[in-house]
Amino acid sequence: MDDFPLHDHVTLKKIISANHARVSQPQKYKVILLNDDYTSMEFVIWVLKRFFNLSEAKAIEVMYQVHTKGKGVAGIYTRDIAETKSTQVNHYAREHDYPLLCTIQPV
């Protein structure tokens, strides 16, 4: 004998549907380094390796994008992480007297 006999299959489907609601993925953001006339290429590479965990080769590739195209994508993250990384890079650059600017942009 069932403890909870089900007579209304429509209600059961609604309950199951409500419990299995789809969760959307969070919006992603690009963390972008902007070129300037004063920040050294070596410093940009160091920042990319330290804050974005890029390999030497990938850091050089992104640094050249920053140098030749005016900006380069350091990584793609959720908003909170992107904002944190951008703030960390900007503070670190100022501490070392560089005007390097890091921003975020929705993907």
What count of other Cβ atoms lies within 10 Å of the Cβ of residue 89? 23
Domain range annotation of the chain: 37-106
Backbone angles phi, psi at 70, to 5 degrees: 90, -15
Mean pLDDT (whole number) for 59-81: 98
Lowest mean pLDDT among 13-17, 69-73, 85-89: 13-17
Which residue's structure tokens are 């793609």? 76
User: How sure is the predictor about 11, in pLDDT bands with cuts at 50, 70 and 90?
Assistant: low
Instruction: Calculate the CA 91 to chain-centre distance.
Output: 18
DSSP 102: E
Name the average pLDDT for the chain.
90
pLDDT value for 23: 83
Tokens of 71: 């900006």
Any idea what the Cα angle at residue 63 is, between residues 62 and 64, rounded to 5°?
90
CATH topology of domain 37-106: Ribosomal Protein L30; Chain: A, (3.30.1390)
Cβ(41)–Cβ(84) under 8 Å? no
pLDDT the model gives residue 53: 98
